[in-house]
Every structure is written in structure tokens, then in C-alpha cells.
Amino acid sequence: AAAGGEAADAATRTGGTFGELGLAPALAAHIEGPKVGFARPTGVQRQAIPVLLSGRDALVNAATGSGKTLAYAAPIVHSLGAAEPRLSRADGAAALVIVPTRELAAQVLALLEALTKRYIWLVPGAVTGGESRDREKARLRKGITVLVATPGRLLDHLQKTQAFKTEALRWLVLDEADRLLDLGFERDLNAILELLGERLMRERWQSALLSATLTADVERLAKVSLRRPARVGFKGGAADGEADGGAESGAAATGAFAAVPRTLKQRYALLPCRARMAALALHLRAAALADSGSAKLVVFLSTCQTVDFHHMALSGLRGVSVGGSGGGVGGDAGDEGGAFIPLPLYRLHGSMPQAERAAQTRAFSQATSAALLCTDVAARGLDFPGLTEIVQFDAPGEASEYVHRIGRAARAGRSGVATLFLLPTEVQYVDVLRDAGAELSPSQFSATIEAAQLNGTAGRKFFPKAASQLPGPDPEVEALAFHPLVSAVSRALEQQVSRRASCAAAARDAFVSHIRAYAAHAKSLKAIFHVKKLHLGHVAKAFGLREPPAAVGRKGGSGGGGKGGKGGKGEKGGKRKGDKGSGGAQKKKRMRPHVAQE
């Protein structure tokens, strides 16, 4: 793990100037100037930019947050800007950049727009879906020189939009290739490569494939998309850009996933199941109080419904009091109408309309202090300025998914914190992550409670009655659910759910989708994350629900636990593969044995 941390640090370490890498002086000065704002190239930029400027294809293994977007964007703008005769919009697409998500496409496009300010004849643009196809078609007809696209929409335009010109194509980039494959885009990517090959000779364009992990699937994609690539970012490989005969067995050199920088502090906290939502509220409050005006957190949840519900419930959390005797929180002591969490809360998931997704992403990016509740749609590629902490409220699954999530923090050499919430029954997951190279230290939830105390309650001693009599593998953790402050927050959340019909419906949808997502964990992790280990009555209570779980399954909410639960490729929550059905009968059969424990 130490060696991995050093490798990640080397990838983000800066030094030299962009001009020394071979970029045009005007472009180098522009990159280092205030409008783009990169003072020095990072390690992956120092390695990749000269390789790409030499005309070689490149397979780039780069840790998330290492600056790999600029590593390919700068050579593209350099080469297209110097092309003779000068390119024009009428020539069509001279560069294609394929990315897995709309949010990442918007971020890449923003960088390209900044880089091309010096080259006004180069027109960047994007087609990602989420808007009228006719509008995208009109932009393509006018001409886009550097096009950023998601695979499905790009393939659609290649097949159906006659005005979409690719004859002048000189660059093809597959960014976040592992994520593209994780989301099931391999068939689309192969179809895109085949169509481009039919339109023009393969030798006409230069390719780059960038990935944080190098799996067998990524290697297979590299073999069909790259020609004798230089290998960049490989331990003991061609980090200097020299070829080594192709893209083979990168995983053996780099490990199962990209290394985590030493500047990221990783920790885990065990929570009582029944108080999970209260614990999240307390954690956000404590973070806001500790870093007044600068706390910026991303919170990962498993499904679209759980994001929507927690956003609704936590945004409306007000008037918390301990023992019913005041002590309200908010701006001032005794202000019971104030927000318990002194942070703006945003949300992001794949089922949101594109305009709302873009607005929420932009607002959170621009905020100096805020929290974003999201699914894994935000787990890859996105760079949020000033981010201080990643909170994994729902465990991600495979170790590689964990690394991609925490990669939002401690980017480009900055420091950050990553906190993983677990139930006592899930503590073995820490060993899984440690075996994969993660360095996690325990964090006590009791310290969070103390940091989030209401005015006049800090420093109170808490001695739970008969803690040793509580059920579960860790009675001391379970006892924290009865702390006066935790109980007060849980009570306020329950009241909000019971009093607001919309919140109650959202809670039921979230509960059902959460159980389905939990049951969909990989087979290799079933011994740790198994529905039979859950006390479903406590899970329901964590969603502010007072009725028995079987009743929740019968009553349902707004139907969000069904087809709409997935919210886009790669997000958990819908009907999972192998289900014999998603109807109430099956849910009741699975839930009833656990209800008996309540």
C-alpha cells in the first residue's frame, strides 16, 4: 500500500513547465495563465503529453485526480491549432472524446472551451443525450471541431445524422475506459470503431485510451482501439513514453486499481442500523461546524430513491431538541426553526432530468460550502473544487468502486478525507479493502456526536443502560442509537416522515430500493452484505418509517422501487438480474422472518 501511495503521489506531483513538454509557446502560456490556471504539469501530464505530441497512440494508466484530462486535451488543441490548411467548422469533427457520463462530458467540454480561447477557429461541443436530438443535429450540421460525447448518443448520430462529418478525424480518445465498460458500453464502442473504420482508414487518426484500472476488458478494448501504443503510467513500464509492444497485462504492473494518494485520510465508522440517517445528519452538521464556511462533502448512496429521500428529509430537518426542553439548533441557540445541517444540500442521480442534473452539478461546483447527495453517477471523472470529504453512506461493493468514489477528494496533490459508514455486521469489508491496498483507520461515531452537540449539551456524559444486553455483534455501537442527541434527531426525522405524505412515500420507495440494492451485491461479498443479516425493522426505522417492513412492502410509495429505480446504467436499485419477480409476495416472504425480531 505504501508503494501504491508513492505511485499516486508521483502521478500528481508537479514540476517544470508546459512549454518544456513541447506544447506551442502560446498554448503553454495560456494553460499557465489565469484563464486556464494550471501552474505546473502533473506527473501524468509530463509523461503523456510528449508521447501524444510525437504522434503515438497511448494507453494511459492514471489515478483519478491526476490531471489526465489535460494530458490529452492539450495535445489535441496543439495539433489541431497548428494544422495547415487551417481547420474550419465546415470540416466537421477533427477530434472525438468519448466519456461515460453527461457530467464528465460537461467537465471535459469546459476545459476544451478554455483551451480553445486562443484558437477561435476550433469549435468544441458535446452530444450526450438529455436534450432534443434535433438541437444536437443542428449543432453538428454547423460543425463541431472537437466533439465530446457519450457512446450511445455518438453512435446514434453516426448512424442517423447525415450532416455529421468525420472525414477530417485526427483524434479519438476513450476517457475513463474502465467506467465505459462497467456501464455496458462495449458493444457501442465496437460499433463506433467499426463505423469510423468504414468511413476512413484507421491510420488517419491517433488514439488514446485512459483508465484508472486495467482489467482484462480494458486490455481487450485497447487491442482493438490502439495501434502499438506507448504505455504511460506503468510501474516498471514505459512511463517515459517508450513502446513495449502493446497493451498487455497492465493489471499485473499496477495492481487491481489505481493507488490512492497519501494526502487522502481514509477512515471508517460503525453505526447502529436504526440510527443511520440520524448519523448522517450529525456527521454533516459536525463537518459544517468544524470547517465553518469551507466544508464541502460528497455523500454516496446506493440508489436514486435513497438520494431523493435523504435529500428531502435532511433538507427539512429543523427544530431538533433534546429532552423536549428547547436547545434548538440553527443559526443561534434556541432557534428551533433553524436548519439542523448548516449546509446547502444538493442531489445528483441518473433519473433526474438533464437540465436539473446540470444545474445541481454546477451549483455544487461553485459553492464554497455544501453537501452533494448522489449515486455512483458522480463516482468517476468529476472534479469538484474545494472538496474536503467523501462520505460513503452506502458501501460501494468491489474495492475498485471504493477507490473511484474516494478519488473525488485529494485530487492533484490536495488533502482530503474519505469516511466509510458500515454496520457492525459489515466490518469484515474493511479487511477486503485493506487486502486490496486501502489504508483505513477506525473513527468513533461517538466523537461525531460530541462534535455535533447542541448548544448547552456538549460534554454531557452518556452512560447507556444495560448496553451489554443489547442485541447484535457490537452492543456498544448499538447503544449509541439511544444517545439523547441521536434519539432527538431520529425522532425529528420520523415526525417529518409521518407528517408529510410526500416524504412518507419517498421513504417507502427508498426503503424498498435500498433492500434490493443490498441484495444485489457481488457474489464475492455476499458473506458480508447479505439481506438475512439485516434487521429489517431497524432498517425501516433508519428511513423514518414506523410501520413494520412487511407493511411497507405492501403499501409501497410512488412506484419508484420498480423499473425507475436504476436511474440509468450502472446505478443500483431496479429489478436485479436473477430475480424471480419484484412483486409484493416475494418481498413479504423475504422480510417476514426479520420482522419477527422487532
What does the pLDDT read at residue 80? 97
Q: Is the pLDDT confidence value at 165 over 90?
A: yes
d(CA 139, CA 143): 6
Which secondary structure element, helix H or strand E, spans residue 428, and what is its range? helix 428-435
Rounded to the nearest 10 degrees, what angle do helices 304-315 and 276-290 cross at? 60
d(CA 301, CA 375): 5
CB 62 within 8 A of CB 233: yes
The Cβ-side half-sphere exposure at 591, using a 13 Å CA radius, reads 25
Q: Is the pLDDT confidence value at 335 over 50?
A: no
Q: Is the pLDDT confidence value at 15 over 50?
A: yes
- Regarding whether 399 and 343 lie in a shared domain, the answer is yes
d(CA 423, CA 272): 6
pLDDT band at 380 (very low <50, low <70, confident <90, very high): confident
ω into 484 cis (within 30 of 0): no
Percentage of residues in the chain having pLDDT higher than 90: 56
- Regarding whether 295 and 201 lie in a shared domain, the answer is no
Considering only 12-26, 33-47, 263-277, 566-580, which range has the smallest mean pLDDT?
Answer: 566-580
How confident is the model over 526-542, as pLDDT tens digits? 999 999 999 999 999 99
- Boundary-marking domain end, from 466, 500, 534: 500
- Regarding whether 311 and 196 lie in a shared domain, the answer is no
- Regarding whether 270 and 232 lie in a shared domain, the answer is no
Q: Is the pLDDT confidence value at 56 over 60?
A: yes
Q: Mean pLDDT over residues 461-478, rounded? A: 63
CB 399 within 8 A of CB 436: yes
CB 189 within 8 A of CB 180: yes
- Regarding whether 232 and 273 lie in a shared domain, the answer is no
pLDDT band at 235 (very low <50, low <70, confident <90, very high): low
Residue 255 vs residue 370, higher pLDDT: 370
Q: Mean pLDDT over residues 494-520, rounded? A: 94
Percentage of residues in the chain having pLDDT higher than 70: 78
Would 476 be classed as within a structural domain? yes
- Regarding whether 270 and 233 lie in a shared domain, the answer is no
Task: Name residue, grid cell 424498498.
Answer: 512
- Regarding whether 398 and 300 lie in a shared domain, the answer is yes
**Could you tell me where the beta strands, DSSP code E, fall in 342-384?**
345-348, 370-374
What does the pLDDT read at residue 378? 82
Q: Mean pLDDT over residues 198-226, rounded? A: 88
- Boundary-marking domain end, from 207, 241, 275: 241
Would 254 be classed as within a structural domain? no
What does the pLDDT read at residue 551? 83
Q: Mean pLDDT over residues 144-156, rounded? A: 96
- Boundary-marking domain end, from 241, 276, 296: 241
- Regarding whether 215 and 355 lie in a shared domain, the answer is no
CB 452 within 8 A of CB 460: no
Q: Is the pLDDT confidence value at 250 over 60?
A: no
Would 199 be classed as within a structural domain? yes
Q: Is the pLDDT confidence value at 493 over 90?
A: yes
Please provide the average confidence, as pLDDT, over all residues in the chain: 82
d(CA 45, CA 68): 7
Would 581 be classed as within a structural domain? no
How confident is the model over 402-441, as pLDDT tens digits? 888 887 777 666 788 999 999 999 999 999 998 888 889 9
Q: Mean pLDDT over residues 270-297, rounded? A: 92
Would 520 be classed as within a structural domain? no
Q: Is the pLDDT confidence value at 266 over 70?
A: yes
What does the pLDDT read at residue 331? 36
- Regarding whether 114 and 13 lie in a shared domain, the answer is yes
What does the pLDDT read at residue 389? 93
Report residue 473: phi and psi, to 5°. Answer: -70, -15
The number of domains in the chain is 2
d(CA 17, CA 489): 52
CB 279 within 8 A of CB 445: yes
CATH of the domain at 335: 3.40.50.300
pLDDT band at 544 (very low <50, low <70, confident <90, very high): very high
pLDDT band at 302 (very low <50, low <70, confident <90, very high): very high
- Regarding whether 150 and 25 lie in a shared domain, the answer is yes
Q: Grid coordinates representing 320?
A: 431538533
- Regarding whether 166 and 32 lie in a shared domain, the answer is yes
Report residue 485: phi and psi, to 5°. Answer: -70, -40
Would 161 be classed as within a structural domain? yes
Q: Is the pLDDT confidence value at 545 over 90?
A: yes
Count of other CB atoms within 10 angstroms of residue 87 = 22
Distant-in-sequence, close-in-space partners of 560: CB < 8 Å, separation ≥ 6: 304, 305, 308, 506, 509, 510, 512, 513
What does the pLDDT read at residue 509? 95
Q: Mean pLDDT over residues 466-483, rounded? A: 74
pLDDT band at 470 (very low <50, low <70, confident <90, very high): low
Q: Is the pLDDT confidence value at 373 over 50?
A: yes
How confident is the model over 70-95, as pLDDT tens digits? 999 999 999 999 999 999 999 999 99
What does the pLDDT read at residue 455? 53
What does the pLDDT read at residue 234? 73
| Chain mean position to CA 223 | 28
Would 461 be classed as within a structural domain? yes
Q: Mean pLDDT over residues 485-508, rounded? A: 94
Short-list 373, 379, 320, CA closest to 344: 373
Burial class (CB in 10 A: 0-12, 13-18, 19+), 201: exposed
Task: Name residue, grid cell 440520524.
Answer: 278
Which secondary structure element, helix H or strand E, spans residue 210, and what is its range? strand 206-211
- Regarding whether 279 and 233 lie in a shared domain, the answer is no
Q: Mean pLDDT over residues 177-201, rounded? A: 91
Structural domain including 213 reads: 2-241
What does the pLDDT read at residue 207? 96
Report residue 317: phi and psi, to 5°. Answer: -75, 115
Q: Is the pLDDT confidence value at 258 over 70?
A: no
What does the pLDDT read at residue 379? 77
Would 569 be classed as within a structural domain? no
